Amino acid sequence: MELIEQLATLFNESQRTVFFTGAGISTESGIADFRSPGGIWSQIKPIQFKDFLADESIRMEDWRRRFHFQKQFDEAEPNAGHKFVTNCLSYGKGIGLITQNIDGLHQRAGVPDDCIVEIHGNGTKAACLECHSPMALSQAQVLIEREGTAPKCARCDGLVKAAVVSFGQPMPQDKVLAAKELAERSDLFVVIGSSLVVQPAASIPLIAQRNGAKLVILNREATLLDAAADLIIRDPIGETLTQVQTVSASSQ
């Protein structure tokens, strides 16, 4: 209970909380962590961005995988962890959310689009790689079934791809910048369900800390930034945050 009380106190004292979420928050909704040992990328080879650009059969395989993941995302429901983050952003002192997740569960839990920075993109949408015109996944699916080829943009004939950052694809610099700016403004930076291995994930919490923010890491496994953290909790996410909410409400 002591850790819960410490975290509740940090939330109560904060005026500008920023959340950083990774796969661990969504595994409690039944979504597989595809980068973890035993995850899907240890069973099937990830598709590299350059191969998507070069090869039609690889594009078709990428779409097959996309629709497979989408089915998993559609069947999942946001959990207590997602709801805690939404509450803090809507009614508390949360100023923003940075997420590595592409499953759209934060939005389905009620986080408005302008509160969220999706540094790895969003797997529930697609867009033209040239002119960035959006295409619904359902429309991409219809086109693939009708034409038997990977969809092209109606406006410029460019390749359409799920709006996620693929392996070997450059990070969207506007998103990285927005994430860094949020980190700079925060006085409490809460990492939830990320091992902080992939860049820029590993550096963003340190930006917050350099600007005076307290750093909390709520993750099942050890992370690379544990030594820098002000508070580390390894317990299940939804359960922990539900307890924090109760303690927080009773002390106000």
46, 109, 132, 166, 204 from 163: Cα distances, Å: 16, 20, 9, 9, 22
- Applying the rule CB under 5 A, the residues between 154 and 173 that interact with Zn ion are 155-156, 158
Question: DSSP secondary-structure letter at 103?
Answer: S
CB of 49 to Zn ion, least distance (A): 17
Q: Which of 68, 106, 120, 132 is catalytic?
A: 120
Active-site residue 120, yes or no? Answer: yes
CB of 52 to Zn ion, least distance (A): 16
CB of 172 to Zn ion, least distance (A): 17
Task: With contacts defined by CB under 5 A, name the span among 8-16, 151-159, 200-208, 222-230 that binds Zn ion.
Answer: 151-159
CB of 89 to Zn ion, least distance (A): 33
**Which H or E element spans position 99?**
strand 94-99
Residue found under tokens 């661990």: 24
Is the Cα dihedral 174, 55, 146, 152 positive or negative? Answer: positive
Nearer to Zn ion, 151 or 238 (CB): 151
Nearer to Zn ion, 117 or 162 (CB): 162
Closest to 195 measured CA to CA, from 233, 224, 238: 224
- Reduced to 3 states, what is the DSSP secondary structure of residue 126? strand
Task: With contacts defined by CB under 5 A, name the span among 5-13, 73-81, 115-123, 145-153 that binds Zn ion.
Answer: 145-153
Nearer to Zn ion, 153 or 206 (CB): 153
Task: With contacts defined by CB under 5 A, name the span among 65-73, 100-108, 133-141, 186-194 that binds Zn ion.
Answer: 133-141
| Burial 76-91, CB ≥16 within 10 A → b, else e | bebbbbbbbbbebbee
Residue 239 binds Zn ion (CB under 5 A): no
The answer to whether the CB of 94 falls within 8 A of the CB of 18 is yes
Whole-angstrom Cα distance, residue 188 to residue 210? 12
One of 128, 179, 233, 241 touching Zn ion (CB under 5 A): 128
Nearer to Zn ion, 109 or 128 (CB): 128
Question: DSSP secondary-structure letter at 224?
Answer: T
Active-site annotation, residues: 120
Give contact residues for Zn ion (rule: CB under 5 A).
128, 130-131, 133, 153, 155-156, 158
